């Protein structure tokens, strides 16, 4: 039997390089491997666990679908769908919530982080976030999940739930592992923390043109350009990580040596890096435009994906309900 893969991204707007390198590139790699059956969704139910605007939620879901297709997710090879259109996810999430304690959820670093960000919005759904995510993954019996490193605590919960439900109810769910890419942690352009949608000035968008990329890189804080120790944090470290991801290890090594000898000219480094990033994004942007111009085709891809996902989901849900004594 083929091994299964599931991943998802919340619908909070267009994707950035962190999403692309940490999640989407892994999704593409597994889609290309005939040993895997791949399921990729937009996690709109997870989107509403933090403050959001209901008027633009559907638009944002569409943006993620368009970015998926533009990046190369292929409906011939992957099931592409929208989480809320497969109601089995919520039902399985509820069943799983009977297996997890409140204390375990409250202690997760990802939960604590969100409480800090939105202290006025500590809802039941937020607490239950990892349980619903476990339902997303286990629904398709996925053993691999391409996501960035920040999602590891959530995968741990999915493994705990799998192990509990297997031992308690005699089922055989796999314990899912994260599928890591070389860009599993893309640092912020500000030099502090990770590249993220919510932090202004931290990211480069998949839809940014060359001028925008140049402008953003120009703002990355740097230093004098030379010294004994190549910085391992801050703006310079971010630039070197991006050089490695877009121009290769050798190029990074060259810059490291340069730092310790004649010095780096950041203007040149930034110009070259902007070009390299744009070269990778250009075909994605061209494909996005093609899909934007064929809305009916995109509707059809989503409808077919939703239907396939619902069929698979129902099988697992029935199995679990039976094992738990409900049917």
Residue 32 CB, shortest distance to ligand ADP, in Å, is 18
Output 48 or 212, the one with its CB closest to ligand TRP. 48
Output 83 or 252, the one with its CB closest to ligand TRP. 83
Which stretch in 8-16, 112-120, 199-207, 226-234 sits in contact with ligand TRP by CB under 6 A? 8-16
| Residue showing tokens 């799983």 | 96
Residues 38-97 that bind ligand TRP (CB under 6 A): 43, 46
In angstroms, the CA 108 to CA 80 distance is: 29
Which stretch in 66-74, 146-154, 165-173, 207-215 sits in contact with ligand ADP by CB under 6 A? 146-154
| Sequence-distant (≥ 6) Cβ neighbours of residue 166 within 8 angstroms | 172, 173
| Three-class HEC string of 217-274 | HHCCCCCCCCCCCCCCCCHHHHHHHHHHHHHCHHHHHHHHHHHHCCCCCHHHHHHHHH
| Residue 172 exposed, middle or buried by CB count within 10 Å (0-12, 13-18, 19+) | exposed
In angstroms, the CA 29 to CA 73 distance is: 10
Asked whether position 148 contacts ligand ADP by CB under 6 A, the answer is yes
Asked whether position 14 contacts ligand ADP by CB under 6 A, the answer is no
Asked whether position 137 contacts ligand TRP by CB under 6 A, the answer is yes
Output 12 or 83, the one with its CB closest to ligand ADP. 12
Output 151 or 252, the one with its CB closest to ligand TRP. 151
| Residue 59 exposed, middle or buried by CB count within 10 Å (0-12, 13-18, 19+) | exposed
Q: Which does 67 bind (CB under 5 to 8 A by kind): ligand ADP, ligand TRP, none?
A: none
Residue ranges that bind ligand ADP, judged by CB under 6 A = 9-10, 12, 18-19, 21-23, 147-148, 150-151, 183-186, 194-198
């Amino acid at each position: 039997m083929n091994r299964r893969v599931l991943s998802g991204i919340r619908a909070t707007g267009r994707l950035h390089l962190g999403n692309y390198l940490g999640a989407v590139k892994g999704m593409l790699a597994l889609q290309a491997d005939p040993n895997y059956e791949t399921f990729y969704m937009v996690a709109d139910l997870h989107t509403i666990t933090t403050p959001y605007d209901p008027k633009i939620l559907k638009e944002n879901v569409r943006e993620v679908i368009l970015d998926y297709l533009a990046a190369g997710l292929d409906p011939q090879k992957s099931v592409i769908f929208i989480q809320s259109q497969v109601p089995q996810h919520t039902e399985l999430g509820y069943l799983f919530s009977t297996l997890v304690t409140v204390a375990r959820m409250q202690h997760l670093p990802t939960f604590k982080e969100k409480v800090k960000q939105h202290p006025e919005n500590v809802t039941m759904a937020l607490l239950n976030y990892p349980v619903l995510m476990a339902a997303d993954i286990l629904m398709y019996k996925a053993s691999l999940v391409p996501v960035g490193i920040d999602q590891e605590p959530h995968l741990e919960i999915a493994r705990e739930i799998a192990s509990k439900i297997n031992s308690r109810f005699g089922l055989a769910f796999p314990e899912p592992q994260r599928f890591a890419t070389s860009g599993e942690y893309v640092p912020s352009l500000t030099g502090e923390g990770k590249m993220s949608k919510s932090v202004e000035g931290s990211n480069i968008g998949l839809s940014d043109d060359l001028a925008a990329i140049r402008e953003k890189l120009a703002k990355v804080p740097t230093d004098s350009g030379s010294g004994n120790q190549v910085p391992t944090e801050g703006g310079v470290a971010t630039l070197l990580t991006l050089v490695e991801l877009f121009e290769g290890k050798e190029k990074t090594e060259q810059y490291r040596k340069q730092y310790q000898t004649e010095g780096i000219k950041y203007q040149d480094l930034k110009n070259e890096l902007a070009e390299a990033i744009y070269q990778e994004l250009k075909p994605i942007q061209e494909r996005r435009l093609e899909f934007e111009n064929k809305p009916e085709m995109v509707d059809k891809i989503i409808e077919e994906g939703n239907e396939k996902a619902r069929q698979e989901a129902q099988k697992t849900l029935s199995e679990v309900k039976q094992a738990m004594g409900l049917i």
